[in-house]
Amino acid sequence: MKAIQLTAPALTAFRQTELPEPKAGPGEVLLRLRAATLNYVDVAIATGSFPGAQFPMIPVADGAGEVAALGENVGGWAVGDRVVPHFMPNWQGGPITPHHVAALRGITLPGSLAEYVAVPAASLVALPAHLDFAQGAALPIAATTAWNAVRSAQVRPGSVVVLLGTGGVSIFALQFAKSSGATVIVASSSDEKLERARQLGADHLVNYRATPAWDEEVLNLTGGRGADLVVETVGDATFARALNAAAMGGTVFTVGFVSGTAAPIDLLPIIVKALRIIGNNTGSVADLAEAARAIAAHRIVPVIDRVFDIGETGAAYAELASGGRHFGKLAIAH
C-alpha cells in the first residue's frame, strides 16, 4: 500500500513509500483511510518536542475512512461503513489510565497517512452522515477535547465561554458552546479571523495583539463577573490571564501548550475564586461518540481551512507549524 513515513523528528523528513498492507486481526477492522487532519501534537512529534514516537513511522493521529474488511469476532460494523478511528484505541471510557496513553495513533501506533490501517473495532465511531471524510477526520482529538471542555463546565444558556485563538479546538468549542446557548468571547491575533468567528456565532471579539490585556476586556464585557469557562489552548503565555478572566467558581479547561508549559502561577485567584482547573488528555471513545452525536444533532460542520493532497504533507505540516495562518483545521486527503 502507499504510505507516507516520517523518518526522523524533522519537518523535512517525510517520504512516500510502499508498505505491506496490514491485516485485520481478531477484534480488528481494516480501514481504507480517506483523509487525515493535523493537530498541534503531530507537529510536536515531527519536531521532536513530544515523546513516544519511534522512526520511521506513519504519522498523523486523526483520520477517517471506510471499513474495508472485518477480522474475526467483529460485530456491529460492515464493509463500506464510514467511520472515525479514535486516537487512543485502548480507552473505551471511564477515567484515563497508563494503559490508555500507551497506545496512540500516529505516535506509538501507525497513523493516518497510509491507504490502510488495522484498528480495534471497539475504537470506531460512525462518521456523522452530513460530514465528508476530511470533516470527520477532525473529530477524534479537536472535537472530543472541545466537547469535554463544554461538558466539563456544564455550559448552558447564560454561560460565558472564552476561547483563545481560532485553531481546531477553539473553533469546535465555539460551535459546541453556541449550540448550548452560551455567550462566547473569542480572542485572536487577527481581525479577519475574528470576523470568521463572528460568522460562526461568536458574540464578542477581542484582538489580543491590539488588546494584550484580553482578560480585563473579558471582565469589562461581563460586568466584572468573568467567564464560566476559559478553554486554555495556549499555555504559559496566557495561563495567568485565563485565571483572571474566569468567574468565581469558573472552569479553566487546560489543554494547550502552543506557547510552552512552564506557566508562572499565582495561586491566589485559584483559591479566592474557587476555580476549577481541569486538565484533559483528549478523551475516550465514549467521549468521541458523544461529540459525534452532538455534531449530528446540531448539524455542526467542522471548519476545514484547507485540504492538502497527501503529496503535499510537508507543506501541510509547515502551515500548521507556522502558527496562526489557519482557521479551524488543516486536512490531508488521500
Ligand X SMILES: NC(=O)c1ccc[n+]([C@@H]2O[C@H](COP(=O)([O-])OP(=O)(O)OC[C@H]3O[C@@H](n4cnc5c(N)ncnc54)[C@H](OP(=O)(O)O)[C@@H]3O)[C@@H](O)[C@H]2O)c1
Binding site for ligand X (CB under 6 A): 39-41, 141-142, 145, 164-170, 187-190, 193, 208, 233-234, 237-238, 255-259, 280-282, 320, 323-324
CB-based contact 107:60 (threshold 8 Å): no
Least Å distance, CB 295 to ligand X, is 16
Nearer to ligand X, 1 or 240 (CB): 240
Least Å distance, CB 254 to ligand X, is 8
Nearer to ligand X, 115 or 165 (CB): 165
Nearer to ligand X, 27 or 323 (CB): 323
Least Å distance, CB 57 to ligand X, is 18
Nearer to ligand X, 121 or 234 (CB): 234
Nearer to ligand X, 227 or 234 (CB): 234
Least Å distance, CB 21 to ligand X, is 30
The whole-angstrom separation of Cα 321 and Cα 7 is: 18
Least Å distance, CB 206 to ligand X, is 9
Which residue's Cβ has the minimum distance to ligand X? 167
Least Å distance, CB 136 to ligand X, is 16
Residue 242 CB-density burial (10 A; 0-12 exposed, 13-18 middle, 19+ buried): buried
Nearer to ligand X, 145 or 180 (CB): 145
